[in-house]
Structure 1
Amino acid sequence: MTATLAPAPPEPDAPPPEEPVARRGLPRWAWALIVIGVWVVVYAFTKGQDTLVLPGREHTDLHDTLTGFRDDVLASRDSNPIIQLTYAVGERFVAVVEWVQTLISVPDFPRPVPQVGWLGVTAVAAWVGLALAGWRIALLVAASFVSFGFFGYWSDAMDLLIVTFVAVAVSVLVGMPLAIWLGTTRNRYVLAAINTTLDILQTMPTFVYLLPIVLFVGIGPSGAVACTLLYSLPPIIRIAGHGIRGVSTTTLEATDSAGQTRWQRLLKVQLPMARRTIVVGLNQTIMAALAMATLAAYVNGPGLGKPVLAALQSRDVGGGFVPGMLIVVMAVMLDRTTTAASEAPEKRIRDGADPKIRRIVLGVTGALALVAVYLSREQIDLARFPENDVRRTVADGVNDLVDWFTDTFGGLTGGFKDVISYGLLNPLESLLAESPWYVVAVAILALSAVLGGVRALLPTVICLAGLWYFDLWHDAMVTLNMTLVGTILVMALALVLGVWMARRPRVDLVLRPVLDAGQTIPPFVYLIPILGLFEATRFTAIVAGVIYAAPVAIKLVADGIKGVSPATLEASRATGSTTWQEITKVQLPMARGSLVLAANQGLLYVLSMAVIGGMVGAGALGYDVVLGFSRSEEWGKGAAAGISIVLLGILIDRICRAAAHRDPVTHDPSKRPWWRAASI
């Protein structure tokens, strides 16, 4: 054994040792500006050359090859074992969905109504809310279910819940074993493989899931459940796995010393101690499933997404408002129920609730719920919600309000649109889309090296090569431009409101519930009011993306600034710093890890909406995907567009992750927030 000698203490009068002087160079943002400056100069001499534009409905040999692949897959449905397996799984999904539909949402012929009518379904749902989370949640659930019927969308609302919960049930059955594996394995290759797969699935915008799912599973309930399942699977795996992995090592060592087996340790220690985090993962899985199940209306999935899609296609803002708001009601109900259910056991212990009284209450209310089920089976009036004209009245009122607003403030909204379009959107699009493709590629590579270092170069090279290979470079640059402009607007909002929330507790108290509610709204719904204000243009998709991405970015910025040490702030105030200096010189620099993370999330959220915006005039890759859905001969181009969107998302995500990794604040894993620690 080799002994290590401690250094001799310094002499009492000796001066402190000199610290090495760090070599200082230009900051990263300065190098980024230099790269952009050189790019602009080169663009001025090469504008319009080698832009790889593919006009209108034209497609390339690669696109035709992809379309041929689709045709071959469809032709081999009766002979290809893989296709037979995927379609068989889809048929099982259809069988489950249709059985539950006849139970609660559609007539079960020869019955003119479902087996259980609205009164029974509402009573049972309210009782489940009472059992899981208490009276307040029971009342919220009951009011939500009544609103579905009152506004004339009972069947659609139940269908959306059915698709959501079938997908969530399968997600939990598949995801929890994978989460346990992720949380207990020490094999770094397994960890890397699982995390990389989850990164790709979470980077893909929702719309991109639809094309391959339709090909291998089909349309209707089968496609809706399959794409919802895939999209909702990563949160339960990642968050639950992180919770299991986060159980204290001291606790695990104590269980080992007690002689527990691995399964005993998992079932009696790790899973119970990670329960809160697992429920958070379940909450996020439910919200992701609801968002995807809504969008699955584009592949003929049942639910409230269908009337929203029909309203978007006919530009009927009022007609889309009512089902859109019911989707929001459903999202808030599910979010609050799962959150309250995770806190309910501890709350009952703190309040000293008598378990006997609780059992009596649940027994009595459960009996009343069964009576309601019986009545709804026997009485037509209690099985079918009474019809009324409230839906059309509200829709007409919303249309009148939108018309009044656009007539009154059309100049203001048009002016705002023109300022952003001519001042930011058009110049940046010209730089990205009108520069030679190789100039853009070199510039993006240089920016990735400056911002993310060597860590970002390899994924950037791969993604840029993929964008070039799939023959939609120009459309990809237009989509990237809309994403960057939307992210700039998101970060402007995040900086202003995030700093305000961090420095003013009362502002945080008011804004945080609004932001929480904003995060529960599925992205599809954001297009409805924005379409009425800005009509069907690319600007509509950008504004909808800004509103969709702003809540998460604002909260990340606010939480990052709140995390700055109070001692550091006191030291800056002692030196006479003004409020502006304190914010710009202390808080923002020390919270730059959170700012990078906010920009990362903002980029991905805005990219997702830019794709969905293809349905309302956004053009570029979003339009190509929509075209691939609507015309079979364009399937290959739509598939290439979907892959290009995934590559764009990975490109953006990896550069931001590498930039955050270089940040000394986020380099320490103990200082990362759980959603970053779980994914790196």
Structure 2
Amino acid sequence: MSATTEAPPRPAAKEPPPPPAEPRRLPRWAWALIVIGVWILVWSVTKGQDTLAIAAREHTEVQDKLTDFRDSVLASRDTNPVIQFTYQLGEWFKSLVDWFQRMISIPDFPRPVPQIGWVGVTAVATWIGLAVAGWRIAILVAASFVTFGLFGYWSDSMDLLIVTFVAVAFAVLIGMPLAVLLGTTSRIGNSIINTILDIFQTMPTFVYLLPIVLFFGIGASAGVVCTLIYAMPPLIRIAGHGIRSVSGTTIEATDSAGQTRSQRLRKVQLPMARKTIVVGVNQTIMAALSMATIAAYVDSPGLGQPVLNSLFKNDVGGAFVPGMLIVVMAVMLDRSTTAASEASEKAARGGVDMRQRRIVLALTAIPVVVALWMSRYYTWAAEFPETELGPKLADKVNSFTDWFVDTFSTYTEWFKNVITDYLLNPMQDLLAESPWYVSALAILALALVLGGVRALIPTVICLWGLKFFGLWHDAMITLNMTLVGTVLVMILALVFGVLMARRKAVDLGLRPLLDAGQTIPPFVYLIPMLALFGPTRFTAIIAGVVYAAPVAIKLVADGVSGVSATTVEASRSTGATAWQEITKVQLPMAKGSLVLAANQGLLYMLSMAVIGGMVGAGALGYDVVLGFSRSEEWGKGAAAGISIVLLGIMVDRIARAAADKDEVTHNPAKRPWWRSAMG
């Protein structure tokens, strides 16, 4: 028997060496704290030096040159073809608005009343609401129009509607071709158009008024033009996005049938993007209503006039009533356009009996014709009868305001002092009382830390512009108020946004209020804040917080609720408390939404800077208002307006770059190829 030999044991396979540990890097927030710490140390020994502060009535050479430019434009009105064209265009807009006014809102002399009285106008508007959106919207429209008259502001309400719809009509005529261009052009062309739209959308509303008044005069012409320019970007951007988002497969399938580019646009892209286009029109109407209200400052007709007059007199009740009617109008227009979009979608799917609908519209048109006839021949149907509802409500609001202020003034004063002493003043000292070059270097370092080179380049350009236009000190004060307001906005957004995301009942209760809050023009927010805090910078900040909070709260709520339910359940299975679940899982995973909320909060706060200048905010807002009030200050006002735009672009670019950097950090697949190659 032969001996068996065992095979020698195989050597154990060597385990691959562990990958080298990546060196730990300080997070961006830590670098930001280091920059701020160094800034505070330098400020402590250099404060008050080279702050570039100038007196209220002092001008720089650049500001004087801007005033000279204005004077030269005004002097060349009779010879300069560009000025002649813009003024002629303004006169045409003014004539168009005047024609509509004589039709529905003011006497058309020698006729002592408008051509169509309030009964006819209300009947026509109600029938249009029925035709485009259904019975519910028809009732809403009828109730809204009657409310305008009951509270004594029929003519002002109609004037505001006229300016809004004239501006929206031309915004659609001009904006839709640009939206088509945005939706069909190359990537480079898309970037150029988007950059221009970004500039317009970061520009606070009041800043539009200075150049518009210079080239178009004051009154209805300025109101229509500035409203048109302000309201057009949302339509271009949203409609362009809808056209670009049409399925490529659908386009390829229809292209195979040999259609031309024009046919593709008319028969495929525009019909399939219809819902998005209607959303763009809705946003344009809301923007136009907001701007048409503010345009009262340049003598544009509408409900903004009584609001502005009452604010100047510190008459809270007198401002509240037309302000409330502006909100009614905003809700009516918002709900009507939204319902019209839904109704058109339903009709396109064949969910509406068109024969029955035509019969209903034909039958309901009969009383509309009767109402039109009555409004032309009966005084009671032509001119809304006077009522005491408006004055009585104004008196009650004033009485309530006096009671509220007397009762809670101790608490509101305490709150104002706490925010002012512990947040507003220290940050203003750091930003505005540091030497300008120290603040500039610190802001540049923060831009680099938070957003990288992509944020650094526009920050350099914007900071140079702030110094060039000679209002560095005022710009830092305005930036401080904006940042403090944004901090307060984000506190509200985190508290209520998380509650909405985690409690369905809270979401159902708060979301309608937030939706309504987003339809209120910013002017209206000043009314209660002015009563509570008086004409101070704090009033402007709190009004801005109330204006910016709805959009920030909704963004945070949507971001937190969008966190995967599986991830949340996994954290609960490990025994995490509710606080740990929020702070360790939901908020970190919703970081992109938080950054976007902060970005929008900054821009909304900055857009209130000039409006706040009317109630004691000072700084750039006051400079713009001063430029409106005194011709010799026009250059300083223009420089302040440009400086606000530069601040808006700077904070917007830093926030966007920070958000994009977060996305790349958490999703390496989205890194540029050159960053991946460099590791």
Q: TM-score, normalised by structure 2?
A: 0.95
> Structure 1 residues 528 and 665, CA, compared in 2 at 3 Å: closer, same or farther?
farther
Look up the match of 2:5: none
What is the CA-CA distance between 1:24 and the residue it aligns to?
Answer: 2.6
Alpha-carbon distance in structure 2 between the residues aligned to 1:667 and 1:383: 65
Contact 2:279 2:338 in 1 (8 A): yes
Alpha-carbon distance in structure 1 between the residues aligned to 2:309 and 2:24: 59
Alpha-carbon distance in structure 1 between the residues aligned to 2:266 and 2:369: 34
Structure 2 residue runs of 5 or longer lacking an equivalent are: 1-12, 671-679
Alpha-carbon distance in structure 2 between the residues aligned to 1:261 and 1:548: 47
What is the CA-CA distance between 1:348 and the residue it aligns to?
Answer: 5.3
1:222-233 correspondence to structure 2 within 5 Å: 222-233=221-232
Look up the match of 1:674: none
Q: Secondary structure at the match of 1:663?
A: helix
Look up the match of 2:539: 540
Q: Secondary structure at the match of 2:26?
A: coil
What is the CA-CA distance between 1:354 and the residue it aligns to?
Answer: 2.2
Contact 1:180 1:241 in 2 (8 A): yes
The one-letter code matched in structure 2 to 1:72 is S
Cα deviations across residues 361-397 of structure 1 (Å, max 9, x unaligned)? 1111122111111110111110000012211111111
The one-letter code matched in structure 2 to 1:169 is A
Look up the match of 2:33: 33
Look up the match of 1:69: 69
Look up the match of 1:459: 458
Contact 2:206 2:610 in 1 (8 A): yes
1:508 correspondence with 2:513: no
Cα deviations across residues 460-517 of structure 1 (Å, max 9, x unaligned)? 0000000001111111011001000000000000001101111111111111111000
Alpha-carbon distance in structure 2 between the residues aligned to 1:218 and 1:203: 24
Alpha-carbon distance in structure 2 between the residues aligned to 1:87 and 1:421: 46
Q: Secondary structure at the match of 1:111?
A: coil
Look up the match of 2:54: 54
Alpha-carbon distance in structure 1 between the residues aligned to 2:403 and 2:669: 53
What is the CA-CA distance between 1:669 and the residue it aligns to?
Answer: 13
Alpha-carbon distance in structure 2 between the residues aligned to 1:670 and 1:631: 56
What is the CA-CA distance between 1:265 and the residue it aligns to?
Answer: 1.3
Look up the match of 1:147: 147
Alpha-carbon distance in structure 2 between the residues aligned to 1:312 and 1:159: 20
Alpha-carbon distance in structure 2 between the residues aligned to 1:365 and 1:523: 38
1:345 correspondence with 2:344: yes
Alpha-carbon distance in structure 2 between the residues aligned to 1:655 and 1:535: 34
Look up the match of 1:635: 634
Q: Secondary structure at the match of 2:52?
A: coil
Q: Secondary structure at the match of 2:614?
A: helix
Contact 1:119 1:376 in 2 (8 A): yes
> Structure 1 residues 72 and 663, CA, compared in 2 at 3 Å: closer, same or farther?
same
Alpha-carbon distance in structure 1 between the residues aligned to 2:114 and 2:518: 33
Alpha-carbon distance in structure 2 between the residues aligned to 1:373 and 1:14: 94
Contact 2:455 2:653 in 1 (8 A): yes
Percent of paired sites with the same residue:
73
Contact 1:77 1:84 in 2 (8 A): yes
Q: Secondary structure at the match of 1:189?
A: helix
Q: Secondary structure at the match of 2:543?
A: helix
Cα deviations across residues 282-334 of structure 1 (Å, max 9, x unaligned)? 00000000000000000000000000000111110000000000000000000
Cα deviations across residues 28-79 of structure 1 (Å, max 9, x unaligned)? 1111111001100100000100011112211122211111110000000111
Q: Secondary structure at the match of 1:616?
A: coil
Look up the match of 2:361: 362
What is the CA-CA distance between 1:21 and the residue it aligns to?
Answer: 3.9
Look up the match of 2:437: 438
Structure 1 residue runs of 5 or longer lacking an equivalent are: 1-12, 672-680
> Structure 1 residues 240 and 669, CA, compared in 2 at 3 Å: closer, same or farther?
farther
Look up the match of 1:10: none
State how many pairs are aligned. Answer: 659
What is the CA-CA distance between 1:193 and the residue it aligns to?
Answer: 1.2
1:239-638 correspondence to structure 2 within 5 Å: 239-347=238-346, 352-638=351-637
Alpha-carbon distance in structure 1 between the residues aligned to 2:81 and 2:261: 38
The one-letter code matched in structure 2 to 1:76 is S
Q: Secondary structure at the match of 2:620?
A: helix
> Structure 1 residues 648 and 509, CA, compared in 2 at 3 Å: closer, same or farther?
same
Alpha-carbon distance in structure 2 between the residues aligned to 1:586 and 1:24: 22
Q: Secondary structure at the match of 1:456?
A: helix
Alpha-carbon distance in structure 1 between the residues aligned to 2:654 and 2:664: 17
Alpha-carbon distance in structure 1 between the residues aligned to 2:553 and 2:233: 24
Alpha-carbon distance in structure 2 between the residues aligned to 1:427 and 1:476: 16
Look up the match of 2:8: none
Alpha-carbon distance in structure 2 between the residues aligned to 1:314 and 1:16: 80
Contact 1:660 1:667 in 2 (8 A): no
What is the CA-CA distance between 1:189 and the residue it aligns to?
Answer: 2.3
Alpha-carbon distance in structure 2 between the residues aligned to 1:644 and 1:611: 12
> Which range moves more in the overlay, 20-29 or 387-396?
20-29
Alpha-carbon distance in structure 1 between the residues aligned to 2:313 and 2:153: 19
Cα deviations across residues 200-247 of structure 1 (Å, max 9, x unaligned)? 000000010000000011100110000000000100000000000001
Alpha-carbon distance in structure 1 between the residues aligned to 2:669 and 2:629: 49
Look up the match of 1:5: none
What is the CA-CA distance between 1:347 and the residue it aligns to?
Answer: 3.9
Alpha-carbon distance in structure 1 between the residues aligned to 2:474 and 2:281: 37
Q: TM-score, normalised by structure 1?
A: 0.95
Contact 1:590 1:665 in 2 (8 A): no
The one-letter code matched in structure 1 to 2:151 is F
> Structure 1 residues 648 and 545, CA, compared in 2 at 3 Å: closer, same or farther?
same
Contact 2:126 2:139 in 1 (8 A): yes
Cα deviations across residues 521-579 of structure 1 (Å, max 9, x unaligned)? 00011001111111100000000000000000000001111111122112222222211
> Which range moves more in the overlay, 658-667 or 192-201?
658-667
What is the CA-CA distance between 1:349 and the residue it aligns to?
Answer: 7.1
Contact 2:450 2:658 in 1 (8 A): yes
The one-letter code matched in structure 2 to 1:182 is L
Alpha-carbon distance in structure 2 between the residues aligned to 1:666 and 1:337: 43
Cα deviations across residues 340-372 of structure 1 (Å, max 9, x unaligned)? 110013445789442221111111112211111
What is the CA-CA distance between 1:14 and the residue it aligns to?
Answer: 9.3
Alpha-carbon distance in structure 1 between the residues aligned to 2:16 and 2:128: 68
Contact 1:593 1:663 in 2 (8 A): yes
What is the CA-CA distance between 1:264 and the residue it aligns to?
Answer: 1.4
Alpha-carbon distance in structure 2 between the residues aligned to 1:17 and 1:110: 97
Considering only CA atoms, is the larger Rg found in Structure 1 or Structure 2?
2
1:112-191 correspondence to structure 2 within 5 Å: 112-185=112-185, 187-191=186-190
Contact 2:489 2:545 in 1 (8 A): yes
Contact 1:661 1:667 in 2 (8 A): no
Look up the match of 2:677: none
Look up the match of 1:678: none
Alpha-carbon distance in structure 1 between the residues aligned to 2:376 and 2:669: 57
Alpha-carbon distance in structure 1 between the residues aligned to 2:407 and 2:349: 54
The one-letter code matched in structure 2 to 1:208 is V
The one-letter code matched in structure 2 to 1:191 is N
Contact 2:168 2:288 in 1 (8 A): yes
Alpha-carbon distance in structure 1 between the residues aligned to 2:507 and 2:602: 24
Alpha-carbon distance in structure 1 between the residues aligned to 2:277 and 2:544: 29
> Which range moves more in the overlay, 358-367 or 628-637?
358-367
Alpha-carbon distance in structure 2 between the residues aligned to 1:460 and 1:98: 45
1:648-659 correspondence to structure 2 within 5 Å: 648-659=647-658
> Structure 1 residues 665 and 351, CA, compared in 2 at 3 Å: closer, same or farther?
farther
What is the CA-CA distance between 1:610 and the residue it aligns to?
Answer: 2.2
What is the CA-CA distance between 1:17 and the residue it aligns to?
Answer: 9.1
Alpha-carbon distance in structure 2 between the residues aligned to 1:258 and 1:42: 70
The one-letter code matched in structure 2 to 1:646 is V
The one-letter code matched in structure 1 to 2:135 is W
> Structure 1 residues 665 and 382, CA, compared in 2 at 3 Å: closer, same or farther?
farther
Contact 2:275 2:345 in 1 (8 A): no
Contact 2:454 2:657 in 1 (8 A): yes
The one-letter code matched in structure 1 to 2:177 is P
* Alignment RMSD (CA, Å): 1.7
Q: Secondary structure at the match of 1:147?
A: helix
What is the CA-CA distance between 1:665 and the residue it aligns to?
Answer: 6.7
